């Protein structure tokens, strides 16, 4: 009886999976191709935001001003980016790209994010117990960040009376704040505006 129920369950699962797979036609496309499924913030919007932020951050005088005083490249840590919209938006979609491009520019340095630092600290503690003393990495040698990158995402949505048309406006603001003095050294906002209309 138990085997019979198991066979029936497996058969039902196969029908469900098979039925679902027949309804999808999958095609690979260039990741830079713009594909809007609806009016909400998406990966294309994140890339557009990132491109503008990177160019602006590298062109403003905060880096040269820091170098003139400290004679070393500024160290940044990425903090929180608050999503104040009604949509689910993962800020990592653009902050990861911004971090990558700024770091690879050779003009700034980055400290690992808080969760990664905790993981690295645990690794160093484990090293003390298990590794060859000659290869153990020293504790209390972490680099402190000069600036923290913080931000927020806001939106405004306007809908027509019949609900068939939507205008979405998104504003992403990022800023770099001196951790020691709380002084803002760079701030930039980027906007996305898109319209959507139902066919029926």
Kindly state whether residue 4 falls inside one of the protein's structural domains. no
Answer yes or no: is 18 within a domain. Answer: no
Instruction: Give per-residue pLDDT as tens, 55-93.
Output: 999 999 999 999 999 999 999 999 999 999 989 999 999
Task: Provide the mean pLDDT of the chain.
Answer: 82
> Does a structural domain hold residue 155?
yes
How far apart CA 54 and CA 97 sit, in angstroms, is: 9
CATH number at residue 44: 3.40.50
Return the DSSP state at 135.
Answer: G
Token digits of residue 118: 């905790």
Decide if 24 is inside a domain.
no
Q: How many domains does the chain have?
A: 1
User: Quick check: is 186 in a domain?
Assistant: yes
Give the orientation angle of helix 43-59 with respect to helix 92-104, to 10 degrees.
Answer: 30
Task: Flag whether 8 is in a domain.
Answer: no
**Helices and strands: H and E segment counts in the chain:** 5, 5
Whether the predicted model's global pTM rises above the 0.85 cut? no
DSSP 72-120: S--EEEEEEEEE-SSS---THHHHHHHHHHHHHTTS-EEEPPHHHHHHH
Domain-embedded: residue 189:
yes
Q: Does 120 reside within a domain?
A: yes
pLDDT in tens, 98-136: 999 999 999 999 988 777 666 766 766 666 666 666 666
Domain interval for residue 92:
34-197
């Amino acid at each position: 009886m138990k085997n019979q129920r198991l066979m029936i369950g497996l058969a039902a699962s196969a029908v469900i999976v098979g039925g679902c797979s027949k309804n999808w036609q999958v095609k690979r496309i260039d990741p830079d191709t713009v594909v809007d499924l609806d009016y909400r913030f998406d990966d294309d919007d994140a890339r557009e935001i990132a491109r503008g932020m990177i160019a602006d951050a590298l062109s403003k005088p905060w880096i040269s001003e820091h170098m003139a005083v400290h004679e070393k490249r500024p160290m940044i840590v990425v903090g929180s980016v608050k999503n104040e919209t009604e949509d689910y938006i993962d800020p990592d979609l653009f902050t990861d790209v911004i971090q990558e491009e700024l770091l690879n520019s050779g003009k700034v340095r980055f400290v690992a994010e808080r969760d990664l630092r905790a993981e690295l600290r645990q690794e160093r503690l484990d090293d003390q117990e298990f590794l060859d003393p000659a290869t153990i990495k020293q504790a209390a040698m972490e680099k402190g960040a000069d600036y923290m990158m913080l931000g927020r995402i806001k939106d405004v949505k306007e809908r027509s009376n019949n609900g068939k048309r939507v205008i979405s406006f998104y504003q992403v603001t990022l800023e770099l704040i001196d951790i020691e003095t709380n002084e803002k050294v760079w701030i930039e906002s980027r906007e996305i505006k898109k319209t959507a209309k139902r066919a029926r």
